[in-house]
Amino acid sequence: MAQNRKLRLGAFMRPVSIHTAAWRYPGAFPDANFNLEHIVRFAQTLERGKFDAFFMADHLAVLNMPMNALKRSATVTSFEPLTLLPALAMVTKHLGLIATASTTFDAPFHIARRFASLDHISKGRAAWNIVTTSNPDAALNFGLDEHMDHAERYRRAREFYDVVTGLWDSWAEDAFIRDVASGEYSDPSRLHVLDHKGPYLSVRGPLNIARPVQGWPVIVQAGASDDGRQLAAETAEMIFGGTTDIASARAFYADVKGRMEVLGRDRDHLKILPGAFVMVGDSIAEAQEKRARLDSLVHYDSAIASLSIALGCDASQFDPDKPLPNDIPETNASKSGRERAMAVAARDGLTVRQLAQRLGGYAGPAFVGTPQTIADTMEEWLMTDACDGFNVMFPYLPGGLDDFVDRVIPELQRRGLFRTEYEGTTLRENLGLPRPENRFFPAATQARAAE
Protein backbone atom coordinates (compact mmCIF):
# COMPACT_ATOMS: atom_id res chain seq x y z
CA MET A 1 0.00 0.00 0.00
CA ALA A 2 1.42 3.35 -1.06
CA GLN A 3 2.05 5.58 1.93
CA ASN A 4 1.56 8.83 0.02
CA ARG A 5 -2.16 8.39 -0.47
CA LYS A 6 -4.28 11.41 0.34
CA LEU A 7 -7.86 11.48 1.58
CA ARG A 8 -10.58 12.92 -0.64
CA LEU A 9 -13.24 14.69 1.42
CA GLY A 10 -16.73 15.57 0.32
CA ALA A 11 -19.28 17.22 2.59
CA PHE A 12 -22.78 15.79 2.71
CA MET A 13 -25.03 18.83 2.92
CA ARG A 14 -28.81 18.51 2.59
CA PRO A 15 -27.67 21.26 3.28
CA VAL A 16 -28.82 20.57 6.83
CA SER A 17 -27.26 17.67 8.77
CA ILE A 18 -28.41 14.12 8.07
CA HIS A 19 -29.35 13.77 11.76
CA THR A 20 -33.06 14.49 12.18
CA ALA A 21 -32.55 16.40 15.45
CA ALA A 22 -29.67 18.56 14.19
CA TRP A 23 -31.84 21.65 13.91
CA ARG A 24 -32.68 21.40 17.64
CA TYR A 25 -29.12 21.13 18.96
CA PRO A 26 -27.96 24.07 21.13
CA GLY A 27 -26.24 26.65 18.93
CA ALA A 28 -27.47 25.08 15.69
CA PHE A 29 -29.20 27.11 12.97
CA PRO A 30 -32.78 25.75 12.86
CA ASP A 31 -33.26 27.14 9.33
CA ALA A 32 -29.87 25.97 8.02
CA ASN A 33 -31.33 24.20 5.00
CA PHE A 34 -33.34 27.17 3.73
CA ASN A 35 -31.21 30.21 4.52
CA LEU A 36 -28.80 31.29 1.80
CA GLU A 37 -26.58 33.35 4.11
CA HIS A 38 -26.03 30.30 6.33
CA ILE A 39 -25.30 28.03 3.37
CA VAL A 40 -22.76 30.51 1.97
CA ARG A 41 -21.01 30.43 5.34
CA PHE A 42 -20.93 26.62 5.28
CA ALA A 43 -19.49 26.52 1.74
CA GLN A 44 -16.80 29.06 2.57
CA THR A 45 -15.86 27.13 5.73
CA LEU A 46 -15.52 23.95 3.67
CA GLU A 47 -13.28 25.76 1.22
CA ARG A 48 -11.15 27.10 4.08
CA GLY A 49 -10.78 23.46 5.14
CA LYS A 50 -9.70 22.48 1.58
CA PHE A 51 -12.63 20.10 1.11
CA ASP A 52 -12.99 18.63 -2.37
CA ALA A 53 -16.69 19.27 -2.70
CA PHE A 54 -20.02 20.41 -1.30
CA PHE A 55 -22.58 17.68 -2.05
CA MET A 56 -26.24 18.65 -2.00
CA ALA A 57 -28.63 15.72 -1.74
CA ASP A 58 -32.15 16.20 -3.03
CA HIS A 59 -35.64 14.70 -2.99
CA LEU A 60 -38.42 14.94 -5.56
CA ALA A 61 -41.15 14.42 -2.99
CA VAL A 62 -41.72 15.08 0.68
CA LEU A 63 -40.33 11.99 2.38
CA ASN A 64 -42.86 9.20 2.73
CA MET A 65 -43.03 8.88 6.50
CA PRO A 66 -45.90 9.14 9.00
CA MET A 67 -47.10 12.73 9.46
CA ASN A 68 -46.28 12.64 13.16
CA ALA A 69 -42.63 12.04 12.21
CA LEU A 70 -42.68 14.25 9.14
CA LYS A 71 -43.76 17.30 11.10
CA ARG A 72 -40.51 17.03 13.10
CA SER A 73 -38.24 16.73 10.05
CA ALA A 74 -36.28 19.64 8.57
CA THR A 75 -36.15 17.84 5.20
CA VAL A 76 -39.62 19.04 4.21
CA THR A 77 -38.13 22.23 2.76
CA SER A 78 -34.88 22.88 0.90
CA PHE A 79 -33.53 24.71 -2.13
CA GLU A 80 -33.47 23.11 -5.58
CA PRO A 81 -29.79 22.15 -6.06
CA LEU A 82 -29.13 23.55 -9.52
CA THR A 83 -30.61 26.87 -8.45
CA LEU A 84 -28.49 27.02 -5.29
CA LEU A 85 -25.12 25.82 -6.55
CA PRO A 86 -24.54 28.59 -9.14
CA ALA A 87 -25.01 31.07 -6.27
CA LEU A 88 -22.35 29.21 -4.26
CA ALA A 89 -20.05 29.24 -7.29
CA MET A 90 -20.00 33.03 -7.01
CA VAL A 91 -18.74 33.00 -3.41
CA THR A 92 -16.16 30.20 -3.69
CA LYS A 93 -13.15 29.57 -5.95
CA HIS A 94 -12.03 25.97 -5.44
CA LEU A 95 -14.84 23.96 -3.81
CA GLY A 96 -16.47 21.34 -6.02
CA LEU A 97 -20.25 21.63 -6.40
CA ILE A 98 -22.17 18.34 -6.60
CA ALA A 99 -25.90 18.22 -7.27
CA THR A 100 -28.30 15.28 -7.33
CA ALA A 101 -30.45 14.93 -10.44
CA SER A 102 -32.76 12.03 -11.30
CA THR A 103 -32.56 9.92 -14.43
CA THR A 104 -36.10 8.67 -13.83
CA PHE A 105 -38.01 11.94 -13.65
CA ASP A 106 -35.97 14.42 -15.67
CA ALA A 107 -35.00 14.77 -19.34
CA PRO A 108 -31.41 14.26 -20.56
CA PHE A 109 -31.32 17.55 -22.44
CA HIS A 110 -32.29 19.46 -19.28
CA ILE A 111 -29.65 17.65 -17.20
CA ALA A 112 -26.91 18.11 -19.80
CA ARG A 113 -27.62 21.81 -20.23
CA ARG A 114 -27.93 22.62 -16.52
CA PHE A 115 -24.73 20.84 -15.49
CA ALA A 116 -22.79 22.24 -18.45
CA SER A 117 -23.96 25.69 -17.40
CA LEU A 118 -22.89 25.07 -13.79
CA ASP A 119 -19.49 23.86 -14.98
CA HIS A 120 -18.95 27.04 -17.03
CA ILE A 121 -20.25 29.33 -14.27
CA SER A 122 -17.99 27.68 -11.66
CA LYS A 123 -15.00 27.42 -14.07
CA GLY A 124 -14.88 23.67 -13.88
CA ARG A 125 -16.19 22.62 -10.47
CA ALA A 126 -19.47 20.84 -11.29
CA ALA A 127 -20.41 17.21 -10.63
CA TRP A 128 -23.60 15.26 -11.27
CA ASN A 129 -24.81 12.73 -8.69
CA ILE A 130 -26.78 10.23 -10.77
CA VAL A 131 -29.81 8.87 -8.92
CA THR A 132 -32.73 6.75 -10.09
CA THR A 133 -34.99 7.97 -7.22
CA SER A 134 -36.17 5.30 -4.78
CA ASN A 135 -39.06 7.19 -3.17
CA PRO A 136 -42.29 5.85 -4.74
CA ASP A 137 -44.13 9.07 -3.86
CA ALA A 138 -41.97 10.91 -6.40
CA ALA A 139 -43.79 9.11 -9.23
CA LEU A 140 -47.04 10.74 -8.13
CA ASN A 141 -45.48 14.17 -8.69
CA PHE A 142 -44.66 13.38 -12.32
CA GLY A 143 -47.95 12.06 -13.68
CA LEU A 144 -47.36 8.39 -12.85
CA ASP A 145 -49.57 6.13 -10.73
CA GLU A 146 -46.78 3.66 -9.97
CA HIS A 147 -43.03 3.87 -9.58
CA MET A 148 -40.84 2.34 -12.28
CA ASP A 149 -39.38 -1.08 -11.43
CA HIS A 150 -35.91 -1.02 -9.82
CA ALA A 151 -34.07 -2.88 -12.61
CA GLU A 152 -35.84 -0.85 -15.28
CA ARG A 153 -34.82 2.42 -13.57
CA TYR A 154 -31.19 1.34 -13.82
CA ARG A 155 -31.49 0.34 -17.46
CA ARG A 156 -32.96 3.77 -18.19
CA ALA A 157 -30.18 5.39 -16.13
CA ARG A 158 -27.49 3.70 -18.21
CA GLU A 159 -29.00 4.98 -21.45
CA PHE A 160 -29.59 8.39 -19.84
CA TYR A 161 -25.87 8.65 -18.99
CA ASP A 162 -24.90 7.86 -22.57
CA VAL A 163 -27.24 10.55 -23.88
CA VAL A 164 -26.12 13.26 -21.43
CA THR A 165 -22.41 12.64 -22.01
CA GLY A 166 -23.07 12.52 -25.76
CA LEU A 167 -24.75 15.91 -25.55
CA TRP A 168 -21.78 17.32 -23.62
CA ASP A 169 -19.63 16.25 -26.58
CA SER A 170 -21.82 18.13 -29.11
CA TRP A 171 -19.18 20.77 -29.79
CA ALA A 172 -15.48 20.39 -30.46
CA GLU A 173 -13.15 22.39 -28.22
CA ASP A 174 -12.32 24.74 -31.12
CA ALA A 175 -15.87 25.08 -32.47
CA PHE A 176 -16.39 28.69 -31.38
CA ILE A 177 -13.99 30.79 -33.45
CA ARG A 178 -15.70 34.18 -32.93
CA ASP A 179 -13.97 35.78 -35.91
CA VAL A 180 -15.08 39.41 -35.75
CA ALA A 181 -13.56 40.29 -39.14
CA SER A 182 -15.36 37.55 -41.09
CA GLY A 183 -18.47 37.52 -38.95
CA GLU A 184 -18.15 33.76 -38.39
CA TYR A 185 -19.01 32.81 -34.78
CA SER A 186 -18.82 29.00 -34.95
CA ASP A 187 -17.59 26.30 -37.31
CA PRO A 188 -20.46 23.97 -38.37
CA SER A 189 -17.97 21.18 -39.12
CA ARG A 190 -17.08 21.11 -35.41
CA LEU A 191 -20.65 20.35 -34.34
CA HIS A 192 -22.12 16.86 -33.87
CA VAL A 193 -25.86 16.11 -33.89
CA LEU A 194 -26.44 13.20 -31.49
CA ASP A 195 -29.71 11.93 -32.98
CA HIS A 196 -30.15 9.30 -30.26
CA LYS A 197 -33.03 6.81 -30.44
CA GLY A 198 -33.06 4.10 -27.80
CA PRO A 199 -35.39 1.91 -25.73
CA TYR A 200 -36.21 4.73 -23.28
CA LEU A 201 -35.05 7.99 -24.83
CA SER A 202 -35.18 9.90 -28.09
CA VAL A 203 -32.96 12.99 -28.18
CA ARG A 204 -31.79 14.76 -31.32
CA GLY A 205 -29.35 17.35 -29.96
CA PRO A 206 -27.01 19.12 -30.25
CA LEU A 207 -26.62 20.85 -26.90
CA ASN A 208 -26.90 24.63 -27.14
CA ILE A 209 -23.91 25.37 -24.94
CA ALA A 210 -20.17 24.87 -25.39
CA ARG A 211 -18.51 21.71 -24.10
CA PRO A 212 -18.08 21.91 -20.30
CA VAL A 213 -14.81 23.23 -18.89
CA GLN A 214 -13.97 19.79 -17.49
CA GLY A 215 -15.04 18.04 -20.70
CA TRP A 216 -17.75 16.43 -18.60
CA PRO A 217 -18.74 17.38 -15.04
CA VAL A 218 -17.54 14.68 -12.63
CA ILE A 219 -19.93 11.70 -12.51
CA VAL A 220 -21.03 10.66 -8.99
CA GLN A 221 -23.14 7.66 -7.99
CA ALA A 222 -24.38 6.18 -4.72
CA GLY A 223 -26.19 2.93 -5.50
CA ALA A 224 -25.32 -0.05 -3.28
CA SER A 225 -27.40 -2.73 -5.01
CA ASP A 226 -25.87 -5.03 -7.62
CA ASP A 227 -27.41 -2.86 -10.35
CA GLY A 228 -26.05 0.25 -8.64
CA ARG A 229 -22.55 -1.20 -8.30
CA GLN A 230 -22.46 -2.17 -11.93
CA LEU A 231 -23.65 1.26 -13.06
CA ALA A 232 -20.95 2.82 -10.88
CA ALA A 233 -18.24 0.55 -12.27
CA GLU A 234 -19.26 1.49 -15.81
CA THR A 235 -19.83 5.22 -15.39
CA ALA A 236 -18.93 6.75 -12.00
CA GLU A 237 -15.83 8.73 -11.02
CA MET A 238 -16.89 9.11 -7.39
CA ILE A 239 -19.09 6.91 -5.22
CA PHE A 240 -20.79 7.94 -2.00
CA GLY A 241 -20.91 4.62 -0.17
CA GLY A 242 -23.23 3.56 2.63
CA THR A 243 -21.19 0.75 4.19
CA THR A 244 -21.69 0.19 7.91
CA ASP A 245 -18.20 -0.91 9.04
CA ILE A 246 -14.64 -1.23 7.81
CA ALA A 247 -15.03 -4.89 6.80
CA SER A 248 -18.05 -4.24 4.59
CA ALA A 249 -16.34 -1.12 3.23
CA ARG A 250 -13.31 -3.20 2.16
CA ALA A 251 -15.59 -5.73 0.48
CA PHE A 252 -17.50 -2.99 -1.36
CA TYR A 253 -14.25 -1.30 -2.42
CA ALA A 254 -12.79 -4.55 -3.78
CA ASP A 255 -16.02 -5.44 -5.58
CA VAL A 256 -16.52 -2.15 -7.41
CA LYS A 257 -12.84 -1.64 -8.25
CA GLY A 258 -12.71 -5.23 -9.48
CA ARG A 259 -15.70 -4.63 -11.75
CA MET A 260 -13.89 -1.60 -13.16
CA GLU A 261 -10.85 -3.67 -14.04
CA VAL A 262 -13.01 -6.23 -15.85
CA LEU A 263 -14.38 -3.34 -17.92
CA GLY A 264 -10.89 -2.05 -18.67
CA ARG A 265 -11.18 1.05 -16.49
CA ASP A 266 -8.32 2.34 -14.32
CA ARG A 267 -9.07 1.76 -10.62
CA ASP A 268 -7.73 5.20 -9.74
CA HIS A 269 -10.32 6.85 -11.97
CA LEU A 270 -13.02 6.17 -9.38
CA LYS A 271 -12.91 7.58 -5.83
CA ILE A 272 -14.97 5.70 -3.23
CA LEU A 273 -16.09 7.89 -0.32
CA PRO A 274 -18.16 6.14 2.38
CA GLY A 275 -20.37 8.30 4.55
CA ALA A 276 -18.81 9.31 7.87
CA PHE A 277 -20.89 10.94 10.60
CA VAL A 278 -18.32 12.74 12.76
CA MET A 279 -18.73 14.04 16.32
CA VAL A 280 -15.65 15.78 17.75
CA GLY A 281 -14.85 16.24 21.45
CA ASP A 282 -11.91 17.09 23.69
CA SER A 283 -12.12 13.51 24.91
CA ILE A 284 -13.88 10.38 23.71
CA ALA A 285 -16.23 10.66 26.68
CA GLU A 286 -17.14 14.25 25.80
CA ALA A 287 -17.79 13.30 22.17
CA GLN A 288 -20.01 10.44 23.31
CA GLU A 289 -21.91 12.78 25.62
CA LYS A 290 -22.47 15.21 22.73
CA ARG A 291 -23.77 12.36 20.57
CA ALA A 292 -26.09 11.19 23.34
CA ARG A 293 -27.40 14.73 23.78
CA LEU A 294 -28.07 15.03 20.06
CA ASP A 295 -29.88 11.67 19.97
CA SER A 296 -31.95 12.66 23.00
CA LEU A 297 -33.46 15.50 20.96
CA VAL A 298 -35.17 13.05 18.60
CA HIS A 299 -38.84 13.03 19.63
CA TYR A 300 -39.82 9.68 21.11
CA ASP A 301 -42.91 9.27 18.93
CA SER A 302 -40.75 9.47 15.80
CA ALA A 303 -37.98 7.41 17.34
CA ILE A 304 -40.13 4.48 18.42
CA ALA A 305 -41.67 4.31 14.95
CA SER A 306 -38.15 3.91 13.47
CA LEU A 307 -37.31 1.18 15.97
CA SER A 308 -40.58 -0.64 15.22
CA ILE A 309 -39.74 -0.66 11.51
CA ALA A 310 -36.24 -1.98 12.20
CA LEU A 311 -37.45 -4.76 14.51
CA GLY A 312 -40.59 -5.61 12.54
CA CYS A 313 -42.80 -5.38 15.62
CA ASP A 314 -44.51 -2.76 17.79
CA ALA A 315 -41.64 -1.48 19.94
CA SER A 316 -43.94 0.88 21.86
CA GLN A 317 -44.91 -2.09 24.04
CA PHE A 318 -41.39 -2.26 25.50
CA ASP A 319 -40.31 -0.36 28.62
CA PRO A 320 -38.48 2.65 27.16
CA ASP A 321 -35.99 2.86 30.02
CA LYS A 322 -34.89 -0.79 30.02
CA PRO A 323 -32.78 -2.79 27.56
CA LEU A 324 -34.40 -4.53 24.60
CA PRO A 325 -36.11 -7.80 25.59
CA ASN A 326 -34.24 -10.97 24.66
CA ASP A 327 -37.31 -12.70 23.25
CA ILE A 328 -38.30 -10.38 20.39
CA PRO A 329 -40.08 -12.64 17.86
CA GLU A 330 -38.79 -12.90 14.30
CA THR A 331 -41.05 -11.46 11.60
CA ASN A 332 -41.03 -10.87 7.84
CA ALA A 333 -39.14 -7.60 8.38
CA SER A 334 -35.59 -7.24 7.13
CA LYS A 335 -33.44 -9.65 9.11
CA SER A 336 -30.35 -7.49 8.64
CA GLY A 337 -32.15 -4.40 9.97
CA ARG A 338 -33.34 -6.30 13.02
CA GLU A 339 -29.92 -7.79 13.74
CA ARG A 340 -28.20 -4.43 13.23
CA ALA A 341 -30.53 -2.71 15.72
CA MET A 342 -30.00 -5.41 18.32
CA ALA A 343 -26.22 -5.34 17.80
CA VAL A 344 -26.08 -1.55 18.29
CA ALA A 345 -28.13 -1.84 21.49
CA ALA A 346 -25.84 -4.55 22.88
CA ARG A 347 -22.59 -2.86 21.83
CA ASP A 348 -23.42 0.55 23.32
CA GLY A 349 -25.57 -0.63 26.23
CA LEU A 350 -28.60 1.35 25.06
CA THR A 351 -32.06 1.35 26.55
CA VAL A 352 -35.09 1.04 24.25
CA ARG A 353 -35.49 4.82 24.32
CA GLN A 354 -31.82 5.46 23.51
CA LEU A 355 -31.81 2.87 20.73
CA ALA A 356 -34.98 4.31 19.24
CA GLN A 357 -33.53 7.80 19.29
CA ARG A 358 -30.29 6.55 17.74
CA LEU A 359 -32.18 4.90 14.87
CA GLY A 360 -34.53 7.85 14.53
CA GLY A 361 -31.66 10.34 14.40
CA TYR A 362 -28.91 8.71 12.36
CA ALA A 363 -28.14 5.00 12.51
CA GLY A 364 -25.18 4.78 10.13
CA PRO A 365 -21.47 4.52 10.90
CA ALA A 366 -20.14 7.26 13.15
CA PHE A 367 -16.67 8.42 14.14
CA VAL A 368 -17.16 9.76 17.66
CA GLY A 369 -14.00 10.90 19.45
CA THR A 370 -11.11 13.34 19.55
CA PRO A 371 -9.40 14.81 16.48
CA GLN A 372 -6.63 12.25 17.00
CA THR A 373 -8.88 9.17 17.26
CA ILE A 374 -10.99 10.30 14.31
CA ALA A 375 -7.81 10.77 12.25
CA ASP A 376 -6.64 7.31 13.39
CA THR A 377 -9.86 5.76 12.08
CA MET A 378 -9.79 7.63 8.78
CA GLU A 379 -6.15 6.67 8.26
CA GLU A 380 -6.90 3.01 8.89
CA TRP A 381 -9.76 3.01 6.39
CA LEU A 382 -7.65 4.73 3.75
CA MET A 383 -4.54 2.58 4.17
CA THR A 384 -6.40 -0.76 4.19
CA ASP A 385 -8.39 -0.23 0.97
CA ALA A 386 -11.69 0.51 2.63
CA CYS A 387 -12.01 3.90 0.92
CA ASP A 388 -10.35 6.73 -1.00
CA GLY A 389 -11.77 9.29 1.42
CA PHE A 390 -15.05 10.16 3.10
CA ASN A 391 -18.32 11.93 2.48
CA VAL A 392 -18.38 13.73 5.82
CA MET A 393 -21.69 14.29 7.59
CA PHE A 394 -21.76 16.92 10.32
CA PRO A 395 -23.95 16.33 13.40
CA TYR A 396 -25.27 19.92 13.49
CA LEU A 397 -24.50 23.23 11.82
CA PRO A 398 -22.46 25.32 12.09
CA GLY A 399 -20.73 23.91 15.19
CA GLY A 400 -20.13 20.38 13.93
CA LEU A 401 -18.68 21.69 10.67
CA ASP A 402 -16.46 24.21 12.47
CA ASP A 403 -15.16 21.50 14.81
CA PHE A 404 -14.13 19.30 11.91
CA VAL A 405 -12.46 22.04 9.87
CA ASP A 406 -10.70 23.69 12.82
CA ARG A 407 -9.64 20.55 14.66
CA VAL A 408 -9.71 17.38 12.54
CA ILE A 409 -8.41 18.83 9.25
CA PRO A 410 -5.17 20.16 10.88
CA GLU A 411 -4.56 16.72 12.40
CA LEU A 412 -5.02 15.03 9.01
CA GLN A 413 -2.69 17.59 7.42
CA ARG A 414 -0.08 17.07 10.13
CA ARG A 415 -0.04 13.37 9.25
CA GLY A 416 0.29 14.10 5.52
CA LEU A 417 -3.11 12.54 4.84
CA PHE A 418 -4.80 15.63 3.43
CA ARG A 419 -3.86 18.56 1.22
CA THR A 420 -2.75 21.91 2.56
CA GLU A 421 -3.51 23.64 -0.77
CA TYR A 422 -5.73 22.77 -3.71
CA GLU A 423 -3.89 20.99 -6.52
CA GLY A 424 -5.69 22.73 -9.38
CA THR A 425 -8.58 24.94 -10.40
CA THR A 426 -11.11 22.27 -11.43
CA LEU A 427 -12.76 19.52 -9.43
CA ARG A 428 -11.19 16.91 -11.72
CA GLU A 429 -7.72 18.29 -11.08
CA ASN A 430 -8.24 18.27 -7.31
CA LEU A 431 -9.55 14.70 -7.38
CA GLY A 432 -6.81 13.48 -9.70
CA LEU A 433 -9.28 12.48 -12.41
CA PRO A 434 -8.56 12.61 -16.16
CA ARG A 435 -10.43 14.93 -18.51
CA PRO A 436 -12.64 12.82 -20.81
CA GLU A 437 -11.89 12.97 -24.50
CA ASN A 438 -14.63 14.15 -26.85
CA ARG A 439 -15.94 10.97 -28.46
CA PHE A 440 -16.91 12.78 -31.66
CA PHE A 441 -13.87 15.03 -31.96
CA PRO A 442 -10.86 13.09 -30.60
CA ALA A 443 -7.80 15.09 -29.63
CA ALA A 444 -5.68 13.46 -32.34
CA THR A 445 -8.19 14.50 -35.00
CA GLN A 446 -8.30 18.05 -33.66
CA ALA A 447 -4.50 18.25 -33.64
CA ARG A 448 -4.34 17.17 -37.31
CA ALA A 449 -7.03 19.71 -38.23
CA ALA A 450 -4.97 22.49 -36.65
CA GLU A 451 -1.88 21.65 -38.73
Single-letter code of the amino acid located at 134: S
Contact 207, 234 (CB under 8 A): no
Q: What per-residue confidence (pLDDT) applies to 49?
A: 98
| pLDDT digit string, tens, across residues 215-226 | 999 999 987 888
Residue 438 has pLDDT above 50, yes or no: yes
Distance CA 343, CA 330 (A): 15
Residue 448 has pLDDT above 50, yes or no: no
> Where does the pLDDT of residue 25 fall: very low under 50, low under 70, confident under 90, or very high at 90 and above?
very high
First to last CA, the chain: 44
Q: What per-residue confidence (pLDDT) applies to 372?
A: 98
Helix, strand, or coil (residue 96)? strand
Strands (E), 281-347: none
Q: What per-residue confidence (pLDDT) applies to 154?
A: 87
pLDDT above 70 as % of the chain: 89
Distance CA 60, CA 133 (A): 8
Is the pLDDT higher at 249 or at 139?
249
Q: Which helix (H) or strand (E) holds 397?
A: none
Mean pLDDT calculated for residue range 346-373:
91
| pLDDT digit string, tens, across residues 7-22 | 999 999 875 678 889 9
Mean pLDDT calculated for residue range 174-202:
97
Residue 365 has pLDDT above 90, yes or no: no
Ranked by mean pLDDT, the top range of 51-60, 134-143, 184-193 is: 184-193
Residue 65 has pLDDT above 60, yes or no: no
Residue 402 has pLDDT above 90, yes or no: yes
Q: What are phi and psi of 178, to 5 degrees?
A: 45, 55
Distance CA 226, CA 323 (A): 36
Single-letter code of the amino acid located at 101: A
The residue count of the chain comes to 451
Q: What per-residue confidence (pLDDT) applies to 148?
A: 73
Cα separations in angstroms, 57 against 17, 93, 133, 300, 351: 11, 21, 11, 26, 32
| pLDDT digit string, tens, across residues 104-161 | 878 999 999 999 999 999 999 999 999 887 667 676 766 766 667 778 888 999 999 9
Domains (ranges, CATH) in the chain? 8-281+370-450 (3.20.20.30), 286-361 (no CATH)
Residue 187: how many CB atoms within 10 A of its CB?
15
Q: What are phi and psi of 389, to 5 degrees?
A: 160, -160
Radius of gyration, CA atoms only, the chain: 23
